[in-house]
Structure 1
Amino acid sequence: MQPETRQLLKITDTTAKKLEKLQLHSAWDLALHLPLRYEDETQIVPIAGVNVGDVCQVEGTVIYQEIQFKPRKQLIARIQDNSGAMLNLRFIHFYASHQKQLAQGQTVRALGEIKRGYFGDEMIHPKIKSPENNKLAQSLTPIYPTTNGLNQPTLRKAIQAALETVNLQEILPEKILQNLKLPSLAHSLRTLHHPPPELSMNTLANGAFPAWQRLKFDELLAQQLSMRLARQRRRNGTAKPLISNNYLSKQLLDILPFRLTAAQERVCAEIQADLAKTVPMHRLLQGDVGSGKTIVAALTALVALENEGVQVALMAPTEILAEQHFIKFKQWFEPLGINVAWLSGSLKKKEKDQAKIALADGRIRLAVGTHALFQDDVLFDNLGLVIVDEQHRFGVAQRLAFKNKGQDVHQLMMSATPIPRTLAMSFFADLDVSSIDELPPNRTPIKTKLVNHLRRAEVEGFVLNTCQQGQQAYWVCPLIEESETLQLQTATETWQNLQAALPDLKIGLVHGRMKPAEKAAVMAEFVSGSLNVLVATTVIEVGVDVPNASLMVIEHAERMGLAQLHQLRGRVGRGAAASTCVLLFAEPLGQISKARLKVIYEHTDGFEIARQDLEIRGPGEFLGARQSGAPMLRFADLQTDVPLLEKAREIAPILIADYPDVVERHLERWLGSKEGFLAA
């Protein structure tokens, strides 16, 4: 927090540090730090009228006080009000000040939840105050999210100072506000911080309450404005047009053992048309697991490489996926006379330095790698195209760093997690989207089975039977090493157990802690068919393509996200044999786990799974937001606030065209320095 802000809000350095732990760096941040719930200190409730479960404030005279030592040390006080009704107050943790405040004959107010106690109704650890010089509150008392060492009175004081300091004047034009029929921003914020007592807790918690609607709308509008401006800036940029004469792509298509689907041909044409423009391409290629995005990426790279001296970089989030791309691209491109370079964090220094020099002087024209590609010391001679696979798995800051390697480069982002409509309307509004909406004809449907882990022996028998018929199997475990908290079986233990249970089969093990060369060797054995079963952690989630693998067993499926389960399941069903995915689960199952398993059992369509995943988890995982610090929606909900999102989409272009000063002020208020993240 800036010194001038601390001074303005009369906040000590210690309090400022605590506030920063809550990501509260400015007066505006504090104004938007809204209550979790409220307490009603506006009225006194007669003790005779209280019910168990009520949270209320009572007032009475202390008629009895005792420190009890059994079953544990505690302070008990009994108060009586004018009606003659009595209530016990119990403190398990107490100080001498409590004893003084609750001395016999003192009149006190107590606020808390009424509980049924052994000696009648009671409050445990109520909030206590003296009624002297304590007028009843005029509004409900806010209870804010806080952190250790920052109490509610201090936080309330800081937020109140912020509300008095920040400029809550309307920015949006009067004409637009009238059409919206929403309260002013100032009224909305003040109402949510200090609601009048006549508003019920249910009303205040309801997202449809007008004050909430106003905040949600302003937030969604800021997001839409930022996205549209990012798109506009990109359209004003100049990238080198990459014109294709198709001589390389025709050679590749001639040697492929399959033909492109109509959907693949359509998206290739969309991408090729974009690359030929001077406007930098910013396209998302989405397609379900196994729809054939990799070959589209390869053909896109060839369009760029047909232009003299242009370099292409392909980045993937994990080493094993990047390595799969590297192997595939080498297999496809080397017969065309194109060398493919590999760059990852695990490369030896000498090899890495050689690759960096060759990238900087232009000798390497196609580089495949992990996040190592966007390190500061990696320079490109003439980067023209960036391809980012599983783009949602990278933090936004990482994607920005990579994008900035070339001046206005063309970008193709790929995702096997289809983007639900509401996300496409909001967080991906600045992208052109191409969808591969059909699977290759040789793909077989995958049967999904839910099996309790107690029937593990039956599943092992199924694995044996599958492998004896000449097929292969994956057995996926969620953790590498034992965790006391999760108590999940480890990949190593599973591998040992399976070797003991299935001695006739050759079983390999691959996990994230292995050296890349070891991983590659095991994967090569599995691909060649010399291993029957591959025990793996989720490193094989994306990019692994073994047509002969027709069975996947996923251990502790209840612990995994829907997108991850769908990705894993997509590793089978890539050949002609009927394929099965067995989801082993352990009981008891939580509500979210039950919901996930139900969805994955009932659906194979990635778009429907993504839609339901968004309902269960929210948008964070789709956006790589946790890794980035990107501005997530704090107030709006993409499931319930679609009408507000549509209004924001409608109003954003009007503001950009007619009110540029309003746009600037609105973005400064809502996004501040974070706006650049939305352009990634």
Structure 2
Amino acid sequence: MPKAPPADSSQSSPPAAPPKSAPQRAMEKLGLHRDIDLALHLPLRYEDETRLTPVAELRDGEPAQIEATVRDARIELRPRRQLVARLVDDDGDVIVLRFLHFYPSHQKALQPGARIRARGEPRGGFFGLEMVHPAFKTVEPGAPLADVLTPVYPTSAQLPQAYLRKAVASALKRAPLHELLPAEALPQGHENLPSLREALQCLHHPPAGASLSALEDKQHPAWQRLKFEELLAQQLSQLQAQRERARLKAPALQAARGGLHEKLLAALPFALTGAQRRVADEIAADIARPQPMHRLLQGDVGSGKTVVAALAAAVAIDAGWQCALMAPTEILAEQHFAKLVQWLEPLGVGVAWLTGSRKGKARQRMVERVASGEAALVVGTHAVIQDDVQFARLGLAVIDEQHRFGVAQRLQLRRKLEGDGTQKLEPHLLMMSATPIPRTLAMAYFADLEVSTIDELPPGRTPVLTKLFADNRRADVIARIGDELAQGRQVYWVCPLIEESETLDLKNATETHAQLSAALPGRMVGLLHGRMPAAEKSAVMSLFKGGEMAVLVATTVIEVGVDVPNASLMVIEHAERFGLAQLHQLRGRVGRGTAASVCVLLYGTPLSPAGKERLRAMAETQDGFEIARRDLEIRGPGEFMGARQSGDALLRFADLTEDAPLLREARRSAALLLERHPTVARAHVERWLESRAEYLKA
């Protein structure tokens, strides 16, 4: 049998990459891939190794660095095994270093006669001053001290500080940190800010004597430069998205005289408020243009956003195009569907209903109606954007409570609406939110959006009185429920959990349902939570809306969209566990009729400072904009915006509650760069955002 020819070395596989070390893998998990990533990985705090403190001058609990000679070191077995070293400094004062966990290397270093520098918190012990688990190293007598503060970085167990410090120091030398911004783009009034390279060098290695308070509260000029650069990148990303969209084409949807828009207005059983008319006109003007609208419609709970969306849909449908309305939950989508069918079907508009629970032939029929154009209006959940749903002529997409969709879902939706690049016209996009956006947040995260605000409630909405009760007054609250029911009213009781939790001491919805059923004999008490089948949820809601069910025990699935005017009492259990926006939304489920309404916030004790702030805000105001402002202060923008769903913090360094002046300067500079220095603008966004730019536009 002939031998096989020798392998062609020119076609052989490249040698396998050497396996990565544990620290390298840990760095990748922290997102530290590029030199710029390491340069922007800033210290949590600093240790001052630039000076020595004599043992006699140490203060209990104040971190300090000493230099002394080991007199003796031994392992003690009582009260537990530990390494104890006794050191004496040049003035003859003694201090003990105590290690409850130690290695042979510790014993080897702490030999009698060794010169040691140790840093830790001194405290008075039974045998005098001691430091427990200090950082230490052996030094030669007269060894020079550090001339900069020592950084302490966010890290993990597999990534030692020493390794990370070396990696950051090396990356700082290699990272492309050259000055990109022309002088005219720098923030006005901050002419003395350092360059980006100087700022990062200072933040990683502050010089001896630098103000630790200015560094820690992020008011140091180096921090100001860093925050400005980050805000500028974000504003550039938003403005670029806005300008890219302005180059796209969309159908020009104009209301016809005497058309569907006017017929709907005439058929409505109520008159629009001045604010509703104003925002409806803003939207109508937008969709009449041949560029895609990208508008946020915000308004407090019960301000009447749905009818404004219906009027916009009427314009699109009258112009021969389809409209899609998508909501994050089936309950909310069903509420919209019921209203829109009531308003539009009598006017000859075909409405389709698409949710995850609609399957089989019923779903297929709806999908066919959408594809053929028979259904001019499509209402549903995220099922509206699934792959098998194809629109004949989608001209307007409306997303309600858009921030409650995950970031990935919002990106999927945007790509679905943008199409695959083959379609010639993009649909207009209207996003609605009952969580008003504070001005600084709107400037930061919605810079690429036009914003319409309904700042007026329809007449007839009754103010809701908010009362706070500690959980030990639960029996009093249940007694109040009996009073409400005796007057023919209905009650919500909201719980934060569905079933037992081993980690949170919270009453659950199932237990509360059983308790209220026993306390209110002869009354129907319903249970509603997210794990119930859709048909069962719908049946429960029908009973409650129809007035047959007296009390509805629910989780936060009723947060938005549920409209039962006869409900006059809302009880929220463990209210301290909810966010402010969520509490405000839940409170908005009552006060929808003519009866005086009350929202009771039951809270567990002791309350955290944030919990106290949230409950105080709820008791003091019903203004959704003030609620949103306080929510932003308490939670910060990432949580407020649902950023945690993406795994990416929206802003790492800037704080919108403190840095509004820098944000305004960033907006000015972003417009200037795009106009006069587009190449610089692109380079700046690439440096700062790389792949994260998509998330900022979601």
Report the TM range for the smaller structure's normalisation. Answer: over 0.9
What's the RMSD between the two structures over aligned residues? 1.9
Residue 46 of structure 1 is matched in structure 2 by 54
How big is the shift at 1:624?
A: 2.8
1:195 counterpart = 2:213? no
Residue 314 of structure 1 is matched in structure 2 by 325
In 1, Cα distance between equivalents of 2:671 and 2:677: 10
Contact 2:187 2:666 (8 Å CA) reproduced: no
User: Does the residue aligned with 1:668 lie in a helix, a strand or coil?
Assistant: helix
In 2, Cα distance between equivalents of 1:89 and 1:648: 51
Residue 218 of structure 1 is matched in structure 2 by 229
Runs of 4+ with >6 A deviation: none
In 2, Cα distance between equivalents of 1:630 and 1:331: 42
In 1, Cα distance between equivalents of 2:34 and 2:114: 43
Residue 27 of structure 2 is matched in structure 1 by 19
In 1, Cα distance between equivalents of 2:697 and 2:544: 41
Residue 496 of structure 2 is matched in structure 1 by 478
- 1:341–1:175 distance in 2 versus 1, CA, 3 Å: closer
- 1:178–1:489 distance in 2 versus 1, CA, 3 Å: closer
How big is the shift at 1:453?
A: 0.9
**Which region of structure 1 is more displaced relative to structure 2, 30-39 or 619-628?**
619-628
Residue 172 of structure 1 is matched in structure 2 by 181
1:451 counterpart = 2:451? no
Residue 288 of structure 2 is matched in structure 1 by 276
In 2, Cα distance between equivalents of 1:446 and 1:294: 22
Residue 290 of structure 1 is matched in structure 2 by 302
Contact 2:179 2:195 (8 Å CA) reproduced: yes
How big is the shift at 1:14?
A: 3.7
In 2, Cα distance between equivalents of 1:317 and 1:93: 51
1:146 counterpart = 2:155? yes
In 2, Cα distance between equivalents of 1:350 and 1:138: 75
In 2, Cα distance between equivalents of 1:375 and 1:630: 25
In 1, Cα distance between equivalents of 2:157 and 2:376: 53
Amino acid at match of 1:44: L
Residue 13 of structure 2 is matched in structure 1 by none
How big is the shift at 1:135?
A: 4.2
Residue 127 of structure 2 is matched in structure 1 by 119
1:435 counterpart = 2:444? no
With normalisation by structure 1, the TM-score equals 0.95
How big is the shift at 1:565?
A: 0.3
Tell me which of 137, 160, 171 is aligned to 1:162.
171
**Deviation string, structure 1 residues 604-634 (Cα, Å, up to 9, x no partner):** 0000110111111111234232223455111
1:249 counterpart = 2:249? no
**Deviation string, structure 1 residues 216-237 (Cα, Å, up to 9, x no partner):** 0111111111212221122221
In 2, Cα distance between equivalents of 1:292 and 1:42: 63
User: Does the residue aligned with 1:651 lie in a helix, a strand or coil?
Assistant: helix
**Which region of structure 1 is more displaced relative to structure 2, 225-234 or 345-354?**
345-354
User: Does the residue aligned with 1:402 lie in a helix, a strand or coil?
Assistant: helix
Contact 2:631 2:640 (8 Å CA) reproduced: no
**Deviation string, structure 1 residues 67-96 (Cα, Å, up to 9, x no partner):** 222322222111111111111111111122
Contact 1:444 1:576 (8 Å CA) reproduced: yes
Write out aligned runs for 1:266-665 (5 A).
266-308=278-320, 310-407=321-418, 408-629=426-647, 632-665=650-683
Amino acid at match of 1:191: C
Contact 1:109 1:129 (8 Å CA) reproduced: yes
**Deviation string, structure 1 residues 137-163 (Cα, Å, up to 9, x no partner):** 221111100123111111112111211
Contact 1:343 1:355 (8 Å CA) reproduced: yes
Contact 2:187 2:669 (8 Å CA) reproduced: no
User: Does the residue aligned with 2:417 lie in a helix, a strand or coil?
Assistant: coil
1:110 counterpart = 2:114? no
Identity across matched positions, percent: 58
**Which region of structure 1 is more displaced relative to structure 2, 63-72 or 227-236?**
63-72
**Deviation string, structure 1 residues 218-260 (Cα, Å, up to 9, x no partner):** 1111111121222112222110111122532333334433221
Amino acid at match of 1:337: G
- 1:178–1:263 distance in 2 versus 1, CA, 3 Å: closer
- 1:138–1:340 distance in 2 versus 1, CA, 3 Å: same
**Deviation string, structure 1 residues 184-212 (Cα, Å, up to 9, x no partner):** 11100000011111113212213210000
In 1, Cα distance between equivalents of 2:639 and 2:138: 49
Contact 1:558 1:589 (8 Å CA) reproduced: yes
Tell me which of 129, 146, 150 is aligned to 1:137.
146
**Which region of structure 1 is more displaced relative to structure 2, 569-578 or 236-245?**
236-245
Residue 69 of structure 1 is matched in structure 2 by 77
**Which region of structure 1 is more displaced relative to structure 2, 508-517 or 405-414?**
405-414
Contact 2:22 2:159 (8 Å CA) reproduced: no
Tell me which of 201, 205, 214 is aligned to 2:216.
205
**Which region of structure 1 is more displaced relative to structure 2, 593-602 or 665-674?**
665-674
How big is the shift at 1:391?
A: 1.3
In 1, Cα distance between equivalents of 2:622 and 2:463: 9
Residue 4 of structure 2 is matched in structure 1 by none
- 1:60–1:631 distance in 2 versus 1, CA, 3 Å: closer
In 1, Cα distance between equivalents of 2:387 and 2:63: 57
In 2, Cα distance between equivalents of 1:11 and 1:117: 47
In 2, Cα distance between equivalents of 1:377 and 1:143: 52
- 1:131–1:270 distance in 2 versus 1, CA, 3 Å: same
Contact 1:380 1:406 (8 Å CA) reproduced: no
In 1, Cα distance between equivalents of 2:34 and 2:385: 32
Structure 1: gaps of 5 or more residues: 1-6
How big is the shift at 1:11?
A: 11
- 1:676–1:97 distance in 2 versus 1, CA, 3 Å: closer
**Deviation string, structure 1 residues 468-522 (Cα, Å, up to 9, x no partner):** 1011110000111111111111101000000111113211110001001000000
- 1:356–1:121 distance in 2 versus 1, CA, 3 Å: farther
In 2, Cα distance between equivalents of 1:319 and 1:74: 61
Aligned length: 671
In 1, Cα distance between equivalents of 2:532 and 2:251: 41
Residue 274 of structure 2 is matched in structure 1 by 262
- 1:324–1:645 distance in 2 versus 1, CA, 3 Å: same
In 2, Cα distance between equivalents of 1:98 and 1:406: 63
How big is the shift at 1:350?
A: 4.1
Contact 1:374 1:398 (8 Å CA) reproduced: no
How big is the shift at 1:345?
A: 2.4
How big is the shift at 1:128?
A: 1.8
In 2, Cα distance between equivalents of 1:30 and 1:321: 44
Amino acid at match of 1:112: G
Amino acid at match of 2:412: A
Tell me which of 673, 686, 690 is aligned to 1:668.
686
Contact 1:630 1:678 (8 Å CA) reproduced: no
How big is the shift at 1:298?
A: 1.5
1:83 counterpart = 2:96? no
In 2, Cα distance between equivalents of 1:377 and 1:49: 75
Amino acid at match of 2:430: L
**Which region of structure 1 is more displaced relative to structure 2, 564-573 or 289-298?**
289-298
Contact 1:373 1:402 (8 Å CA) reproduced: no
In 2, Cα distance between equivalents of 1:254 and 1:329: 15
**Which region of structure 1 is more displaced relative to structure 2, 625-634 or 210-219?**
625-634
How big is the shift at 1:299?
A: 1.6
Amino acid at match of 1:118: F
**Which region of structure 1 is more displaced relative to structure 2, 392-401 or 87-96?**
392-401
In 1, Cα distance between equivalents of 2:19 and 2:64: 32
Amino acid at match of 2:438: P
Structure 2: gaps of 5 or more residues: 1-16, 419-425
Contact 1:380 1:405 (8 Å CA) reproduced: no
